[in-house]
């Protein structure tokens, strides 16, 4: 299970994304990318789980890619999900 919600925070005047994913143990975890500047969703819906995840934290940005097709370079074409923003934080954990 994966759920993505994109919104606008009026207090900070920034876009954000909240990503919720199911863990192997059945629990779910949610993460918020603040200051969202770019995202893309290329989902073929043929895979039931994310095989890999790439998180790159730079000086002023973060890049999160779920299930990248290639590990070469920073941004790969046709990642299943990728997000770029200012910061990322864990926002909840539910069982």
What span, in angstroms and rounded, lies between the C-alpha atoms of 22 and 34?
21
Domain ranges of the chain: 2-94
Distance CA 8, CA 36 (A): 9
Compute the distance between CA of residue 10 and CA of residue 74 in angstroms, rounded to an integer.
Answer: 30
Query: Average pLDDT for residues 2-17, to the nearest whole number?
Result: 93
Rounded CA gap, 38 and 32, in Å? 14
Is the whole model's pTM more than 0.85, yes or no?
no
Q: Minimal CA–CA distance to 86: which of 54, 55, 62?
A: 62
Looking at residue 95, its pLDDT comes to: 44
Report residue 66 as tokens: 């779920």
């Amino acid at each position: 299970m994966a759920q993505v919600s994109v919104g606008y925070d009026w207090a900070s005047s920034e876009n954000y994304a909240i990503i919720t994913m199911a863990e192997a143990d059945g629990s779910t975890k949610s993460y918020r990318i603040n200051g969202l500047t770019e995202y893309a969703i290329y989902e073929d819906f043929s895979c039931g789980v994310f095989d890999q995840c790439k998180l790159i934290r730079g000086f002023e940005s973060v890049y999160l890619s779920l299930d990248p097709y290639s590990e070469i370079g920073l941004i790969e074409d046709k990642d299943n999900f990728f997000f770029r923003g200012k910061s990322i934080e864990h926002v909840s954990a539910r069982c």
